[in-house]
Amino acid sequence: MDLVALTEEIVKSLVEDPDTVSVKEFESENEDELLIQVLVQESDMGRVIGRGGKVANAIRTLVQASSFLKENKKIKINIDSF
């Protein structure tokens, strides 16, 4: 599974309205790094970030582990609202 698709699947399973979730991949200055931008509604930010950032860190850990198995790139995930 693609890392962006994996991130999108995880985030969509957490939010109330999965149709509004936007996940995009951006190239980083470093070729060994991948930047993933996640946009969710303001009302879903708490669900995606979690108390103390625990859910966001868990998402990053899962995607990073998948990256090490396939592409071996460092993953950065930015979560924001619209």
Query: In terms of C-beta density within 10 A (0-12 exposed, 13-18 middle, 19 or more buried), how is residue 3 classed?
Result: buried
- pLDDT exceeds 80 at position 1: no
Q: What residue segments make up the domains of the chain, in order of their start? A: 3-81
Confidence of residue 70 (pLDDT cuts 50, 70, 90): confident
The dotted CATH code for 3-81 is: 3.30.300.20
Nearest CA among 74, 32, 77 for reference residue 59 = 77
Q: How many whole angstroms separate alpha carbon 29 and alpha carbon 10?
A: 26
For 67, other C-beta atoms within 10 Å of its C-beta total 16
pLDDT of residue 28: 85
**Backbone conformation region of residue 72, classed left if phi is above 0, alpha if psi is from -120 to 50, else beta:** left
How confident is the model over 16-69, as pLDDT tens digits? 999 999 999 998 888 899 999 999 999 999 999 999 999 999 999 999 999 999
